[in-house]
């Protein structure tokens, strides 16, 4: 064969090879092997490789066939390289050739422009890149994350209540409601919105000025001009507190409950038996005048006793507290009995209506007489709200519907090593009864700002060398 014949022969072979490669290449121009091998195509010195025969893809997984969507892309001396494919299916993770799952119709993935490069390094055997975001493969296969979700190793169309949604930007709550993950979340099948930096439940709460509020009677309101009182939206304030004008009234920034729909002057009047506006009575004792109220068949002092008996104390030894809450007494002092009665029994010295340190025709109420009072106003739970003074109980103010005006004078202990040991003024009040419960112990009644009840109990009037100090209320004979 001469030189001319050789050249013609070589040219023919080159044309044949080019034709063969062109038929077997992918849309990106790579050489695809259907066996247990890898595909390889190359180009050199191109600036931006997007057309066919411009990207060299090597794709394999466990020795299987190549998928145009996965693998490593490479080119020499190029400026920008993208690995994309017109096939938008699932790439094979096992050996053998690609199955029908790799077709674009099987998962609804869009054209080659849908797949873009990611700016992070990832393992292509376990993850894949879609629209600049890396996702976990679904049982080794890629899928379209904007319309499919991976469930039990299978890419399944994203449906919520029978309607399709985008899992990248949306979620499905309670299998029925599609929501935006940018502003909402689903917790325990309850849809929540974001208010400022807090999540809230739209069913029971609402958002105003980036703060979460509880709905009032199931309704939202304007917190800047309205408040919520007993499940009703109100638009009037007393001082800094919202109140309901239909059932309440305001005097000197203190809220009072109306008396059978009527207002009154709380300085000189009270709600007699909870139904009738009544003028306070009075009794003067040791140069101090005390208000009195009629509740049922009983007439009570409407103030704690402030008689300066020997051994009595002002809370924290501060006279100002005596003016507000009255004085604190040990049981023997309150009963005007010998101090030995604090540790022993003195039942034989206690009268049926025992005067103690109360004024004439008044006495220390017995345990039974305290019960008559609380029963008349509806029981201990109701009494714990109705008998408290409207003001003076911290955050647990009462309604004072009967004018009893119980105030929390706290308690104290005195002994050889202490001169007070006071606690709970403004939060807790305890009053002595005239009834012994056992040797060195007597019945009492207590009220707490945080509980709407009157608690009956028995206290050791003296223990561990210290004697208890409580308040006193006097009851008319």
Q: Which residues 6+ apart lie within 8 Å of 426 measured at CB?
A: 392, 393, 394, 408, 410, 449
For residue range 243-291, what is the model confidence (pLDDT) as tens digits? 999 999 999 988 888 999 999 999 999 988 888 999 999 999 999 999 9
For residue range 1-24, what is the model confidence (pLDDT) as tens digits? 444 344 344 444 444 444 333 433
Give the model's confidence band at 213: pLDDT under 50 very low, under 70 low, under 90 confident, else very high. Answer: very high
For residue range 324-342, what is the model confidence (pLDDT) as tens digits? 999 999 999 999 999 888 8
For range 30-58, the mean pLDDT: 34
Quote the tokens at residue 67. 């998928």
pLDDT for 390 equals: 83
Quote the tokens at residue 324. 């507000």
pLDDT for 419 equals: 65
CA distances from 184 to 161, 166, 181, 220 (A): 18, 14, 5, 19
Backbone angles phi, psi at 82, to 5 degrees: -125, 140
Of 41-50, 256-265, 297-306, least confident by mean pLDDT is 41-50
Give the sign of the dihedral formed by CA 42, CA 47, CA 52, CA 57.
Answer: positive
pLDDT at residue 159 is higher than 50: yes
For residue range 393-412, what is the model confidence (pLDDT) as tens digits? 875 567 788 999 999 999 99
């Amino acid at each position: 064969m001469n030189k001319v014949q050789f050249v013609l022969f070589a040219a023919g072979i080159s044309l044949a090879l080019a034709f063969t490669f062109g038929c077997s290449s992918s849309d990106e121009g790579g050489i695809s092997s259907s066996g247990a091998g890898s595909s390889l195509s190359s180009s050199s010195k191109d600036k931006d490789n997007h057309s066919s025969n411009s990207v060299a893809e090597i794709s394999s997984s466990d020795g299987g066939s190549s998928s145009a969507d996965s693998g490593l892309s490479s080119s020499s001396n190029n400026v920008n390289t993208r690995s994309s494919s017109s096939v938008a299916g699932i790439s094979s993770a096992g050996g053998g050739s690609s199955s029908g799952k790799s077709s674009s119709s099987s998962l609804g993935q869009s054209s080659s422009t849908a797949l873009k490069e990611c700016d992070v390094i990832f393992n292509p055997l376990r993850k894949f890149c879609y629209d600049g975001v890396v996702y976990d493969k679904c049982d080794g296969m890629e899928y379209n994350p904007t319309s499919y979700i991976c469930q039990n190793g299978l890419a399944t169309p994203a449906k919520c209540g029978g309607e399709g949604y985008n899992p990248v930007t949306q979620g499905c709550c309670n299998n029925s409601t599609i929501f935006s993950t940018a502003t909402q979340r689903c917790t325990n099948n309850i849809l929540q919105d974001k208010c400022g930096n807090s999540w809230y439940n739209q069913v029971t709460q609402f958002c105003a000025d980036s703060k979460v509020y509880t709905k009032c009677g199931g309704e939202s309101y304007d917190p800047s001009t309205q408040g919520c009182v007993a499940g009703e939206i109100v638009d009037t304030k007393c001082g800094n507190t919202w109140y309901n004008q239909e059932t309440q009234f305001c005097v000197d920034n203190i809220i009072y409950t109306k008396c059978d729909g009527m207002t009154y002057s709380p300085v000189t009047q009270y709600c007699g038996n909870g139904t009738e506006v009544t003028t306070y009575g009075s009794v003067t004792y040791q140069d101090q005048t005390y208000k009195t109220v009629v509740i049922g068949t009983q007439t009570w002092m409407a103030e704690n006793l402030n008689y300066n008996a020997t051994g009595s104390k002002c809370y924290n030894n501060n006279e100002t507290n005596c003016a507000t809450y009255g004085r604190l007494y040990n049981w023997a002092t309150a009963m005007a009995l010998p101090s030995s009665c604090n540790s022993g029994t003195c039942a034989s010295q206690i009268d049926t209506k025992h005067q103690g340190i109360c004024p004439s025709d008044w006495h220390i109420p017995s345990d039974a007489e305290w019960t008559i009072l609380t029963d008349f106003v509806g029981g201990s739970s109701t009494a714990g709200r109705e008998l408290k003074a409207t003001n003076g109980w911290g955050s647990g103010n009462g309604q004072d519907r009967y004018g009893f005006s119980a105030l929390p004078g706290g308690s104290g202990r005195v002994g050889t090593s202490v001169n007070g040991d006071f606690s709970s003024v403004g939060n807790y009040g305890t009053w002595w009864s005239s009834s012994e419960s056992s040797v060195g112990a007597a019945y009492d009644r207590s009220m707490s700002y945080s509980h709407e009840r009157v608690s009956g109990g028995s206290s050791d009037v003296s223990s561990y060398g210290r004697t208890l100090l409580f308040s006193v209320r006097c009851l008319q004979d």
